[in-house]
Amino acid sequence: MTSTRMTSPALHLERTPVDGICPACESTRLARYPVHSEGGWFDVVKCQACLHSIRREPASRLGPVLRLLSDTL
């Protein structure tokens, strides 16, 4: 007997490229995207080469959930 597992497509949020230079590694690969941590949702700008945090600002309590829901309507 073979079992078939149904999977739904993964939710995906784009990382928006940001102009600038990382002060830690001097890479120009910076991106803005939402993250969830112990303090809730934050909009961050991080270096994609070394993951150094450039900027971290509190986001809405639901974070990107509202954006994801509006994309499905």
- Residue-wise pLDDT for 33-72, tens only, equals 999 889 889 999 999 999 999 999 998 877 776 665 655 5
Give pLDDT, residue 49. 98
Coil, helix or strand at residue 66: helix
pLDDT tens digits along 8-25: 777 677 899 999 999 999
Give pLDDT, residue 50. 98
Q: What angle do CA 50, 56, 59 make, to 5 degrees?
A: 135
Q: What angle do CA 52, 48, 71 make, to 5 degrees?
A: 115
Cα distances (Å, whole numbers) of residue 61 to 4, 8, 66:
37, 25, 10
Residue 7 domain flag: no
pTM: 0.71
Domain of residue 64: give its range.
Answer: 16-72
Residue 41 domain flag: yes
Residue 5 domain flag: no
Residue 42 domain flag: yes
Quote the number of domains for the chain: 1
Q: What angle do CA 58, 56, 22 make, to 5 degrees?
A: 165
